[in-house]
Amino acid sequence: MFRKKSKALVAMSLIMSALVLVSGCGASKPAATAPGTESKEPIKIGFLGAKTGDVAIYGLNTLKGLDMAITELNKEGVLGRQVELVEEDNAGQKDQAINITNKLISQDKVVAIIGDPTTGITRVAGQIANSKKTVIMSAGSTGTNVVEIGPYVFRDTLLDTIAAPATMKYVIQEKGWKNVALITSKNNDYSVSLSKIFTDAITSNGGQVVIEEFIQDKDTDFSGQITKIKSANPDVIVFSGYYTEGALIMKKAREVGIKAVMVGGDGLQGDDLMKIGEDAVEGSISYAGFSPEQPTPNTEKFINAYKAKYNNELPDLFAAQGYDALMLIAKAIKDANSADPEVFKDTLAKTKSYDGVSGTITFQENREPIKSPVYLLEVKGGKFALLKKVPVEVK
């Protein structure tokens, strides 16, 4: 009897203990809170870009814009939480970008990734982010087949499909440069995509491609291509690649007596274009989604704060678009009242007429941005100078 009674008492004691624990848990459970505000842990945002390598300037300047945005956001916080940036360096390499994207999502638990500034890496990183339901926004990619990856993929850039036609309309109809030498970098996704867009824009504006030549990124000797281009006697050289090769192409062009200027996309935006190309790139024209000249009040405020933080340096388009990218994501999190990407991605997709420092931004139904205006920049006195502002109609 005693042993049976002991077992009964032990059993009763365990039951009572369990009831106390349940009661205690119920008593200490916080009141229901709005989605996204339960945690006081930082909201983690990943940075995907190059801090070293040939295109490091894109990533480093994007980071400067992100730092500006984080400083501003953390004055009040987002949903009562601080914003924390998790940085990695992909050195402009796709294999490293793949590893970093997986790490940011699986280990660092970021709710969004900003980057990569380039189209090719954005495509591979976008596949991963979309499959893992994490928002990714590129602050630089302008080529095709990016947002088509899926509903978690965004960008806040001036699209090549908008900017290239506006540029060629100016070049052909206003400058009268109708005979075009087109140069494409075959191992650069951005360049291959942009050349196709330029070709259509040249034809539709009454111009013609009189010769097309091909190079590869990291090539340094363009003698063969330039010799052929000289014999074609073009009015203008359209190069769809990046600033390093662009500078070397123009140095060789000037050596053989070609007087035509170079025209390209925002891949030419980099101080090394002038450092390497020197006088050979004077007069070169490229388009961008941002210019510090003729700023709106909102842009002027950003420029002044940027100069104060970075030793009187002027921001470029990557800094401005990086700032806007994080601010767009933060606004979507606030408006959705949730830091869950499955929730705030839908709010982000509905962005209309956002007054960004890099221009007015509207996301279309397919999440592609419409930005206005298109800034045509000209190399003048060794610096990029505003040549013309072309407004874009948002339908």
User: What mean pLDDT is predicted for residues 176-200?
Assistant: 96
Top-tier CATH class for 161-288+378-390: alpha beta
Q: What is the pLDDT of residues 281-298, one digit of tens each?
A: 999 999 998 999 999 999
Q: To the nearest whole percent, how much of the chain has pLDDT over 90?
A: 83
* Residue 371, beta-bridge partner list: 361
pLDDT higher than 50, residue 154: yes
The full length of the chain comes to: 395
- Please, where in the chain does CATH 3.40.50.2300 lie? 43-157+295-363, 161-288+378-390
Q: How confident is the model at residue 9 (pLDDT cuts 50, 70, 90)?
A: very low
Cα gap 367→321, rounded to integer Å: 16
The pLDDT-based confidence of 4 (bands split at 50, 70, 90) is very low
Average per-residue pLDDT for the chain: 90
Query: For position 21, what pLDDT does the model report?
Result: 34
- From residue 193, give the alpha-carbon distance in Å to each of 181, 206, 349: 17, 21, 25
Judging by beta carbons within 10 Å of its beta carbon (0-12, 13-18, 19+), is residue 318 exposed, middle or buried?
Answer: buried
- Residue 149: CB atoms within 10 Å: 19
pTM above 0.85, yes or no: no
> How confident is residue 98, by pLDDT bands cut at 50, 70 and 90?
very high
Position 270 scores a pLDDT of: 86
- Least confident range from 16-20, 228-232, 270-274: namely 16-20
CB-based contact 330:69 (threshold 8 Å): yes
pLDDT at 129 over 50: yes
Count H helices and E strands in the chain, helices first.
Answer: 12, 15
268-272 average pLDDT score: 90
- Which amino acid, one-letter code, is at 393? E
346-367 pLDDT, tens digit per residue, is 999 999 999 999 988 999 999 9
User: pLDDT (tens digit, 9 = 90+) per residue, 49-82?
Assistant: 999 998 899 999 999 999 999 999 999 999 999 9
The second-level CATH assignment, the architecture, of 43-157+295-363 is 3-Layer(aba) Sandwich (3.40)
Strands of the chain (E only): list them.
Answer: 43-48, 83-87, 112-115, 135-138, 153-155, 179-185, 208-215, 236-239, 261-264, 285-288, 354-356, 359-363, 369-372, 374-380, 383-390
Task: Find where tokens 């700032």 sit.
Answer: 323
